[in-house]
A = this chain, B = another copy of it.
Amino acid sequence: MRNMPKQFTRKWGPSLHPSRDEAPKTLAGRVAQQLRLDIIRHHLEPGERLQFEKLSKRYEVGTSPLREALFQVAAQGLVVAEDHKGFVVAPIQFDEMLDVSNLRANLETYAIRGAIQEGREDWEVDLLSAFHRLKLAGIAVSADQDDEDLRTEWEDRHRAFHYALCKGCGSPWLLHFFDELYDHMERYRRYFWKYAERAVAADNEHEAIMKAALDRDEERAATLLQAHFQKQARLTMNLRKKVERAAAAAS
């Protein structure tokens, strides 16, 4: 046993997406995380060119770590790299948003089915507390719709809730894709903050989904989740028209 090659003894998990909480020890990693946040939160505009000189000043690093950070974020699609032409913040593309939303619907449905079949006790506990935290943040936001920090807190907890739903499925690859897709979705949702009041709080839907999951009712949970995504997609498609009209009028 003791002489088995090390590829068999390593504990498994893709260890891809760096966990949101743990800070990387290298400059490149830190810059990558800052970049991600700056893009998701629209501190960097969609379509904006990312020049090394400017970013070097902004993040106070040399070209090497900056370059590595850009590649990390580019692999995720939040920036696009063109050979010898540099990097650009990924543009806003409503068709892509729909694609992301549909794929999320599929993946999370798959995940919740797995979680309901295999999820253990701590999955239930985490899910329950994630929902509670989301609910409280929802109440806070509806009290003051314009507070950036409250909305950001809500976003974080919303992500945590959906993540908690999926977590029980025990598929690291799925959770990795979840993270990548959710980053994009959050960016799109934040994009609409500028153009419209917050989409109707869907916490009752979240609660229904959670209850179905805790009841281990696979079909009900799947149906509710699909409906949840479809409703969100409808709402954002309406906003899309609004935004495009506004953009057309401005020209």
Contact = CB atoms under 8 A, between A and B. Distances in A.
A57 B41 CA distance: 42
Contacts of A77: 14-16, 176
Interface string A135-164: 000000000000000000000000000000
Contact of A173 (B80, B90, B92, B181): B181
A6 B92 CA distance: 9
B47 A6 contact: yes
Contacts of A24: 83
Contacts of A103: 171, 173-174, 177
Interface string A1-38: 11111111010111110000000111011000000000
Given A171-B102, A251-B4, A93 B47 contact: no
A67 B3 CA distance: 32
The bracket for how many chain A residues form the interface is 35 or more
Contact of A75 (B16, B93, B100, B110): B16
Contacts of A176: 77
Q: How many identical subunits does the complex contain?
A: 2
A99 B47 contact: no
Contact of A26 (B25, B84, B174): B84
Given A67-B68, A171-B102, A92 B7 contact: yes
B171 A1 contact: no
A115 B77 CA distance: 24
A230 interface: no
Interface in A47-72: 47, 64, 67-68, 71-72
A93 B9 CA distance: 9
A97 to B, nearest CB: 10
Interface of A: 1-8, 10, 12-16, 24-26, 28-29, 46-47, 64, 67-68, 71-72, 75-77, 80, 83-84, 90-93, 95-96, 99-100, 102-103, 106-107, 110, 171-174, 176-177, 181, 244, 247-248, 250-251
The 10 closest A-B pairs by CB, nearest first: A75-B75, A7-B91, A25-B83, A3-B251, A12-B93, A7-B47, A7-B46, A7-B92, A10-B91, A14-B77
15 contacts: A4-B247, A6-B91, A7-B91, A8-B92, A10-B91, A12-B93, A13-B96, A14-B77, A15-B80, A25-B84, A26-B84, A96-B173, A99-B174, A106-B107, A177-B177
